[in-house]
Chains A and B, each alone.
Chain A
Amino acid sequence: MKGFLVLVASLSLLFAACSSDDDGGGGSTAATGGTGGDQTDLTVSGAASLTDAFGDIGTAFEGENPGVTVTFNFGPSDGLATQINDGAPVDVFASASPTWMDSVQDDGPGVSDRADFAKNRLTIIVPTDNPAGIEDINDLTEDGIQLVIAAEGVPAGDYAREIFENAGISEAAMANVVSNAEDVRAVVTSVASGEADAGIVYVTDVTAEVADRVTQIEIPDEINAIATYPIAVVNDTQETDLAKHFVDYVLGPGQQTLADYGFLPA
Chain B
Amino acid sequence: MLLVGLPLLGLIVRTPWGRIGEVLTSDTALTALRLSLVVATTAAAISFVLGFPLAWLLVRSPFPGKTFVRALVVLPLVMPPVVAGVGLLAAFGRRGIAGSWLYDWFGFQLTFTTGAAVLAASFVSFPLAVLALEAGLRGLDVRLEDAASTLGASRWYVMRRVTLPLMAPQIAAALVLSWARALGEFGATITFAGNLQGRTQTLPLAVFERLQSDQDAAFAISMLLIAIAFAVIIGLRGRFLR
A residues with CB within 8 A of B? 2-4, 6-7, 9-11, 13-14, 16-18, 20-21, 23, 25, 76, 78-79, 82, 86, 131, 146, 148, 151, 153-154, 177-182, 190, 193-196
Asked if B194 and A193 sit within 8 Å, CB to CB, the answer is no
A16 to B132, CA, bound (A): 17
Closest to A190 in B: B194
B81 interface residue, CB < 8 Å from A? yes
B residues with CB within 8 A of A? 74, 77-82, 89, 93-95, 109, 111-112, 124, 127-128, 131-132, 134-136, 138-139, 170, 173, 177, 180-181, 184-187, 190, 194-197, 199-201, 204, 208-209, 211-213, 215, 240, 242
Given A7-B135, A151-B212, A195-B112, also A13-B195 (CB < 8 A)? no
Q: Please give me the 3 A-B residue pairs with the lowest Cβ-Cβ distance, nearest first.
A: A179-B194, A3-B135, A178-B112
Q: Which residues of B contact A76 (CB under 8 A)?
A: 212
Given A7-B135, A179-B112, A180-B195, also A20-B212 (CB < 8 A)? no
Min Cβ gap B47→A in Å is: 13
A13 to B75, CA, bound (A): 11
A16 to B78, CA, bound (A): 8
Give how many A-B residue pairs fall within 8 Å (CB-CB): 123
Q: Which residues of B contact A6 (CB under 8 A)?
A: 131-132, 134-135
Asked if A82 and B112 sit within 8 Å, CB to CB, the answer is no
Asked if B186 and A14 sit within 8 Å, CB to CB, the answer is no
New contact pairs (7) apart from A3-B136, A21-B185, A23-B186, CB-CB < 8 Å? A2-B138, A6-B131, A10-B77, A13-B78, A20-B80, A151-B209, A195-B94
Q: Which residues of A contact B132 (CB under 8 A)?
A: 6-7, 10
CB < 8 Å neighbour of B208 from A23, A178, A195: A23
Closest to A194 in B: B95
Min Cβ gap B126→A in Å is: 12
Asked if A17 and B124 sit within 8 Å, CB to CB, the answer is yes
A86 to B218, CA, bound (A): 13
